[in-house]
Amino acid sequence: MIDNLPFLVVAVTILLGLYTILLKKDLIKIIMGISIVESGVNLFLIVLGYRWDSIAPIFTGAPSLAMVMPTVQALTLTSIVIGVATLALMLSMVMIIFRYYKTTDVSKVTKLQG
């Protein structure tokens, strides 16, 4: 049971993020929602990397236990970097949208439709 607790946290985080994305009207809050989903996914990757009763992948004189590959940590780092880039891009776009539309309400940022 206690093993699965982190996955529960991941699920709750991602669902919270999706809730924010779908039900909040403010563009900034939608970006926050995306960011929360991102954190959930990063946590998910990190949690995957943990194996009970295992050792670091150093072969010299290692006991014959399962080893933990550091792949997921590398993945998470990459994913965080990508996340920062998207976050910055989206926030700057919202700034420009606000400058011209004078609003960040998602239901009013609809000049392109039909």
Tell me the CA distances in angstroms from 56 to 47, 49, 62, one per residue in order.
Answer: 16, 11, 9
Token pair listed for 56: 């670091």
Window 70-109: residues binding other proteins (CB under 8 A): 71-72, 75, 78-79, 82, 85-86, 89-90, 93-94, 96-97, 99-101, 106-107, 109
CA separation for the pair 19, 44 (Å, rounded): 18
Q: 27-49 and 71-101 are packed helices; what angle lies between their axes, rounded to 10 degrees? A: 180
Q: Is 64 in the site for other proteins (CB under 8 A)?
A: no
Q: Could you tell me the CA-to-CA distances from 10 to 30, 35, 39, 91 in Å, in that order?
A: 19, 13, 9, 25
Per CB under 8 A, does 2 bind other proteins? no
Q: Which residue has the tokens 């991941």?
A: 10
In the complex, least distance from residue 1 CB atom to other proteins, rounded to whole angstroms: 18
Counting contacts by CB under 8 A, is residue 112 touching other proteins?
yes
Cβ contact 57:69 at 8 Å: yes
Q: Does 18 interact with other proteins (rule: CB under 8 A)? A: yes
Question: With respect to other proteins, which residue has the nearer C-beta, 9 or 101?
Answer: 101
Write out the residues near other proteins by the rule CB under 8 A: 14, 18, 21-23, 25, 27, 30-31, 34, 37-38, 41, 44-45, 48, 69, 71-72, 75, 78-79, 82, 85-86, 89-90, 93-94, 96-97, 99-101, 106-107, 109-114
